[in-house]
Amino acid sequence: MALFIRQNEDRSKLQERLAAELQERAKQRAAIKEGPDLVEDTEYMKDTQHTSKMVWVWISVTIIVIAAVVWLIFLNAKHA
């Protein structure tokens, strides 16, 4: 019975050692991969421009042009 308890103790020590090694590796990988935190680091937004008020005009013009092209295709198909 004493051998059985001792085996469990060896396993737990081995498991603790492996867990410690894995945690150390994870810390090393995290230190290597540190980059900008895009949630809190707003430096990447520094020179960006907000959408202008003219965007609705461009969307309207695009829709009108697409509608005109579709209308001309239907007219051409009707006469053919």
Q: How would residue 63 be classed by pLDDT, with cut points 50, 70 and 90? A: very high
The one-character DSSP state at 51 is: P
14 or 75: which carries more pLDDT confidence?
75
Residues 7-62 have pLDDT tens digits of 555 668 888 888 889 999 888 887 766 666 556 567 767 777 788 889 999 999 99
Dihedral sign computed on CA atoms, order 72, 78, 79, 80 = positive
> CA angle 54-56-61, nearest 5°?
100
The answer on pLDDT for 1 being more than 80 is no
For position 75, what pLDDT does the model report?
93
For position 78, what pLDDT does the model report?
84
Determine the distance from the C-alpha atom of residue 9 to the mean position of all C-alpha atoms in its chain, rounded to a whole number: 43
Dihedral sign computed on CA atoms, order 21, 27, 33, 37 = positive
Strands, E, within the chain: which ranges?
Answer: none
